[in-house]
Structure 1
Amino acid sequence: MTTTWQVIRFGLVGVVNTGTYYGLYLLLGLRLPYLVAHVTAFALSMVGSFFLTTYFTYRTRPTWKKFLLFPLTNAANFVITTVGVYVLVDLLGMDSRYAPLVAAASAIPITFVLSRTIMLGPDTTRTRESLTETVASK
């Protein structure tokens, strides 16, 4: 599967995951403070995202190792969106219902690279040139 198709599939999984997260966030936000709702919705949607990412995006089988490493791929996403939500709501006065969507957009490229590395291994992030140079140097 080419990287282009992986990016497209990653984007589709992202849309589903964002919808799941956002629905949970709004539902939990009815009873919980917005940051607690954000963290809880994020954690729950990440489990679903793991299975969609393994089966659909990269067409690989899930393993406990990948499952345990997968949250690391979302660490950057979590930090960026959490700080973003706080800045947008508390400092800039944005409506807390929309802030997570805005904050999440900037984390997408980082999450793709990290998830691809976890699911397929570090060698998948090499460029064709670096692979050719490695073979030529042997």
Structure 2
Amino acid sequence: MPTTVQRLRPQLAQIVRFALVGGVNTGTFYVGYRLLLHTGMPYFIAYTLAFIISMVGSFFMNTYFTYRTRPTWRKFLFFPLTNLTNYVVTSVGTLVLVNGLGLDKRYAPLLAAVAAIPFTYLLSKRILLRGHTDPATPAEGAGPPATVAGATASAAAPSAPSAPSSPSAPSAAKTRASTQP
């Protein structure tokens, strides 16, 4: 029987990867935001454009690195819905911090983003791993990467050994073997 640490290890690793992606994504957003501000663009338009650019980058970093799944058009189209919560929380936070509290417009988005982190993690996980309760354990008796309500199954959780060409298949098989009783 696996210990608590063994059961939690895949989730903790996923959270660490999410945090790393978040750091890179925040840096990308902030550099883009500052560059757009430097052009004389109004701060909220600069904020919105930088947000959209970083959201596309976030999609690809989270699919490939955080959740180790394949990007699909369906996931790509739904991913912005999960980021809508992030956008609302950070937008309201930025507006309140700049207009309500007088915080410098250069730093307000960074502070507002902190409140959005838990929401973004949970919602992106739900969209990118749709149909999977445990990304380290595939569904019993499933065949090659399946379609679950139109979303492709995770490459981190290949459902059959028939996909050896997948770069993450050996590590997923190793994870399955180490987590099974």
* TM-score of the superposed pair, with normalisation by structure 1: 0.87
Distance, in Å, in 2 between the alignment partners of 1:35 and 1:124 is 38
Question: Which one has the bigger helix percentage?
Answer: 1
- Out of 103, 122, 127, the position equivalent to 1:118 is 127
2:76 matches 1:57: no
Distance, in Å, in 1 between the alignment partners of 2:63 and 2:132 is 17
Is 1:13–1:53's contact at 8 Å kept on the other side of the alignment? yes
- For structure 2, which runs of at least 5 residues remain unmatched after alignment? 1-8, 135-181
Greater radius of gyration (CA): 2
Q: CA RMSD in A?
A: 1.2
* TM-score of the superposed pair, with normalisation by structure 2: 0.67
Residue type of the alignment partner of 2:114:
A
**Matched length:** 125
Residue type of the alignment partner of 1:51:
F
Partner of 1:26: 34
Once the two structures are superposed, the pairs formed by residues 1-138 of structure 1 within 5 Å of their partners are: 2-30=10-38, 31-124=40-133
The share of aligned pairs that are identical, in percent, is 58
Distance, in Å, in 1 between the alignment partners of 2:81 and 2:23 is 20
Structure 1 residue 124: Cα displacement = 2.3
Structure 1 residue 122: Cα displacement = 4.6
Shift >4 Å, 4+ stretches: none
Residue type of the alignment partner of 1:38:
Y
Distance, in Å, in 1 between the alignment partners of 2:26 and 2:113 is 9
Distance, in Å, in 2 between the alignment partners of 1:68 and 1:44 is 15
Structure 1 residue 3: Cα displacement = 1.1
> Which deviations, in whole Å up to 9, do the C-alpha atoms of 1:13-62 show, x marking residues without a partner?
00000000000000001221100000000001100110000000000110
